[in-house]
Amino acid sequence: MPSRPAIIIPLKGGPLSKSRLGGTAAWRRALSMAMAEDTLAAVRAGLPDAAVFVVTLDPATRAWASSRGAGVVADPGSGLDAASAAGLAAAEEAGARVRAVLFADHPALRPREIREALAQARHTPIVVPDHDGEGTALLAGPGALPTAFGAGSAAAHEALGHLRVEGSWPGLRLDVDDATDLERARMLGVGPATAAALAGYPAAMQATISVMDDDGSGRALLDDGREVVVPPESLARSALRRLRPGQRVSIELLPLVPLRASRVWIVGIGEGETIR
C-alpha cells in the first residue's frame, strides 16, 4: 500500500503575522490564523489521508496545530528554506513518499485544487507558481525536495528541477500577502474562518464620491476626511452602474492599505437595499 502524502505548512504566527495587510497587530494575527484554519480545512477535505506538519516557533500556533491533529515541528528560525527543510525531514521520518510545502495563507483554496496538484506530483517534483507567476504557491514531489524560497522562487525552483505546473487552481495560486491579494481572495470566495474574521471588521461608512474615471473606478472622501479607492467591482456588488462626483454613498471597508472599498451603494438602490 502506498504511503500517505505529507503536507508541510510553515506558519510564523505571533504579533508579526502579515504586517503588510495593515490594521492592528491583533487583527492581523486573527486573520492570519483564520486563513491558516481555512487552508488546513481545504487540505483535510481534499487529502483526508495526508499527514500534516506545521512548522512554527509561536506557542499559540503550536497549540492550535496540535488541537487540529497536525504534527508540530520546531522552526529553526533562519528563513523559509530552513523551516521547509525541518518539516520535510519530519515527513521523511514519518515515511511519506510524496511531500509538499504549502503556506498557510490560501483562504480561497479548494479541496479539489490541492488533491489535483498532489496527483501531479506523484512521480515528478512540481512547482505551482503563485498568481503573478513569480513566487511559489506549492512545492511538491516524491522524495527529497530542494527549496529556494524568496524573490523569484518559481523560476529558482524550476532551475532546481521542479516541473512548472499552473493548473486551473486559482485558490491554490492565490497566497495572501497584502491588501490586493486579500481582495482577490474575497472575490474568489474565502473559507468560513476567514469570512468570519473579515466580517468582524464592520465597515459601513458615509462618503462623497470625489472622482469617477471612464473605466468605472474612482475615489471617495469619507466623512472623516480619508480618501478611499473605489474599484469597479465594488459598484457591481450593489448593482450600481455609474456614480458621479459629489454623490453621497455608503461604503463598506476592510482595514486595507491603501484604503479600498469592498462595496459601495446608495440606500434604496441595489438588491437587498431598503428605501428609507
Phi and psi for 67 in degrees, rounded to 5?
Answer: -70, -20
Q: How open is the CA angle 38-43-48, to the nearest 5 degrees?
A: 130
- The pLDDT score that the predictor gives to residue 22 is 63
Q: Which three cell numbers stand for residue 52?
A: 500534516
Cα 12 to its chain centre, rounded Å, is: 14
What's residue 17's pLDDT?
A: 72
Helices (H) and strands (E) in the chain, counts: 8, 12
Alpha-helical segments (H) within the chain: 25-46, 59-67, 80-93, 111-120, 153-159, 179-188, 192-199, 232-236
pLDDT at 230 > cutoff 80:
yes
Task: Tell me if residue 241 falls in helix, strand or coil.
Answer: coil
Q: How high does pLDDT run on average in the chain?
A: 87
Residue 149 has pLDDT above 50, yes or no: yes
Of the listed ranges 87-91, 145-149, 241-245, the one predicted with least confidence:
241-245
Tell me: pLDDT of 272 over 50. Answer: no
What is the dihedral sign for C-alpha 169, 173, 175, 178? negative
Looking at residue 2, its pLDDT comes to 55
Q: In which band, very low, low, confident or very high, does the pLDDT at 267 lie, cut at 50, 70 and 90? A: low
Predicted confidence at residue 233, as pLDDT, reads: 79
Is residue 270 scored above 60 in pLDDT?
no
Q: Which of 42-46, 101-105, 189-193, 222-226 has the lowest mean pLDDT?
A: 222-226
pLDDT beyond 80 at 265: yes
Please answer whether residues 206 and 261 qualify as being in contact, where contact means their C-beta atoms are separated by less than 8 angstroms: no
- Please identify, in words, the CATH class of the domain defined by 202-265: mainly beta
Map out the domains of the chain as residue ranges: 6-196, 202-265
Neighbours of 150 (CB within 10 A): 12
Mention every residue, 6+ apart, whose C-beta is less than 8 A from residue 67.
none
- Residue 125: partners with Cβ closer than 8 Å, 6 or more residues away: 139, 140, 141, 142, 143, 145, 161, 162, 163
In whole angstroms, what is the distance from residue 96 CA to residue 134 CA? 28
* pLDDT exceeds 70 at position 24: no
pLDDT tens digits along 74-125? 999 899 999 999 999 999 999 999 999 999 999 999 999 999 999 999 999 9
pLDDT, position 76: 93
SS3 186: helix
Residue 231: is its pLDDT beyond 90?
Answer: no
Of the candidates 13, 31, 14, which has an alpha carbon nearest to the alpha carbon of residue 22? 31
pLDDT at residue 23, rounded to an integer: 63
More confident residue, 65 or 242: 65
Compute CA distances 24 → 21, 181, 222, whole Å. 9, 18, 20
Phi, psi of 255 (to 5 degrees): -75, 65
pLDDT over threshold 50, residue 273: no
Helix (H, G, I), strand (E, B) or coil at 266: coil
Q: What is the pLDDT of residue 268?
A: 53
CA dist., res. 17 & res. 31, Å (int):
9
> Per residue in 168-219, pLDDT tens?
999 999 999 888 898 899 999 999 999 988 877 655 788 999 999 888 889 9
Mean pLDDT, range 141-168, rounded to an integer? 95
Could you tell me which CATH number the domain at 6-196 has?
A: 3.90.550.10
